[in-house]
Amino acid sequence: MSPWPATPRGRRRRRARRPALRSRRSGPDGDPSTHGETAAFRAAGRQPTYRGTTMTTTLSPCWYCSGLILQFGISRLVVGEARTFEGRHEWLAGHGVEVVVLDDPECAELMTAFIKEHPGIWNEDIGESS
Ligand SMILES: [Zn+2]
């Protein structure tokens, strides 16, 4: 088990009319490139097409994960909260991704607590580490 706690990021990606797929928290393998979005994407396996799929995240995806969404043509992004990290919603929407921000207080509380407890991991995760 990794000594590093994981950022509680995105959780699942699913294709319409298929069961939701869940990933574990991001980074349990100690790999800083493993975010919830990438873990969920990998867990879902290859799809004949990514059109019609939805990525659901706790908070806004970072640039890296936003690129993943565009690269594979994921159609819809559902974001739990965008208070702790704004993300690039307009950029995604400008490329045809439907973006829904739920502004869920529970997601915001989860992320606020995580950031307070693990500021170094948070900064690394959002590309702010120096
Ligand atoms: Zn990310």
Q: If the chain, 130 residues long, is cut into consecutive pieces of 10 residues, what is the mean pLDDT of each piece?
A: 51 41 48 89 93 94 94 96 93 97 96 93 80
Q: Report the topology of domain 54-122.
A: Cytidine Deaminase; domain 2 (3.40.140)
Say whether 37 is catalytic: yes
pLDDT of residue 94: 98
pLDDT of residue 47: 92
CA of 40 to the centre of ligand 1 (A): 11
pLDDT of residue 128: 81
pLDDT of residue 105: 96
CA of 27 to the centre of ligand 1 (A): 10
Return the domain boundaries, the chain.
54-122
Measure the CA–CA gap between 43 and 58, rounded to whole angstroms.
17
CA of 17 to the centre of ligand 1 (A): 26
Measure the CA–CA gap between 51 and 40, rounded to whole angstroms.
16
Residues 66 and 57 sit within 8 Å (Cβ to Cβ):
no
